[in-house]
Amino acid sequence: VLFGLLYRSINRFGSLTDKSKTTLKTLKKAQKKYLMPLHYIVNIIALLLAIIHFSLSNCRSSSLPEWGLALMACIVVVGIILKMNITPKGVRKTFYKIHTNPLTIGLVVTVLLIGHSIVD
């Protein structure tokens, strides 16, 4: 996922030669082919571990842990919905944009980090 985000940012904003862009594109294709199946499994495991972690911890001073878990669960569920192709085409495009947007991932990570720093 991180390489995909970096690839899009570098490709969009970086001034690279055509050979560099071709090399990056080849790496992106290989990464997508070999690591994407692992991405599906690891995200579901991470969500299950997050639910267990949340259920074992207790914080009455902040609602950020709940928000972080809810946002993470939404992103995972949207990914599962996209993988299973159970949405109409119009909604699918919107779900894909939400699921792959770097701002969405950044928001979840920020909420989780702030929530954990408040709890600690």
Please check whether residue 83 is in contact with residue 95, taking contact to mean a CB–CB distance below 8 angstroms: no
Radius of gyration of the chain (CA): 17
pTM for this model (two decimals): 0.74
CB atoms within 10 A of CB 43: 16
Q: How far apart are the first and last CA of the chain?
A: 28
pLDDT at 6 over 80: no
pLDDT at 101 over 80: yes
pLDDT at 120 over 70: no
Give the pLDDT confidence of 30-68 residue by residue, as tens digits.
888 888 888 889 989 999 998 998 888 776 677 787 888
